[in-house]
Amino acid sequence: MLSGFFIVVITLLLLAQIIGRFFNFIVPSAEDFAGFALAASTFLGLAYTFREGGHIRVTLVIQRFSPLPRKIQEGMILTLSLALLCYVSYACSFMVYESYIYDEVSYGYVPVPLWIPQVPVAIGAIALTLAVFDAWIDVVRGKQPDYVKQEDALSLEEI
């Protein structure tokens, strides 16, 4: 829902800019705020999209595997993804911390402390890491992850 909220914020900012042109006023730092909202929307939507099977995967190849090789492949990919996402989550969180400690601000007309728009990016990265960890636990336990169930349901609907 937060991801959708930030899409609405982008829309309202663009609408304000368009209306402002007719009445000769500008929205200060609208481009900066739209960029911040885009980053927030993107990262806050990653975990939900992953769990719903919305991320792009090579399903034409993956679905051709028999059950055992498919489980092995899913486990290996999730292990690598989890390791990478742990690093990304750490890096994003550390970026927020550094921006806060060093009082970094945006270069736009309205100076915004950078840690404020960076927080949703870190939260989204952490949420995606937790979603991948949950799927990894399912694979380790021998269960099918939620995103695989969604992909299989979608592929059956297309037939």
Residue 140, pLDDT score:
92
Residue 153 confidence (pLDDT) above 70: no
**Both structure tokens of 99:** 């921006």
Burial 84-112 (b: 16+ CB within 10 A, else e): ebeebbeebbebbeebeeeebebeeeeeb
Residue 152, pLDDT score:
65
Q: What is the pLDDT of residues 30-84, one digit of tens each?
A: 899 999 999 999 999 999 988 887 776 666 677 777 878 888 888 999 999 999 9
Residue 105 carries which DSSP code?
B
Q: Tell me the average pLDDT across 126-152.
A: 88
Residue 156 confidence (pLDDT) above 80: no
Residue 116, pLDDT score:
95
Better-scored residue on pLDDT, 146 or 104: 104
Cβ-contact 80, 67 below 8 angstroms: no
Residue 112, pLDDT score:
93
Could you state, in order of their start, the residue ranges of all structural domains in the chain? 2-158
| Reported pTM | 0.85
Q: Is the dihedral of CA 66, 68, 74, 80 positive or negative?
A: negative
Q: Is the dihedral of CA 144, 149, 150, 155 positive or negative?
A: positive
Choose the weakest-confidence range: 76-80, 124-128, 143-147.
143-147
**What is the share, in percent, of the chain residues with pLDDT greater than 90?**
62
113: β partners: 105
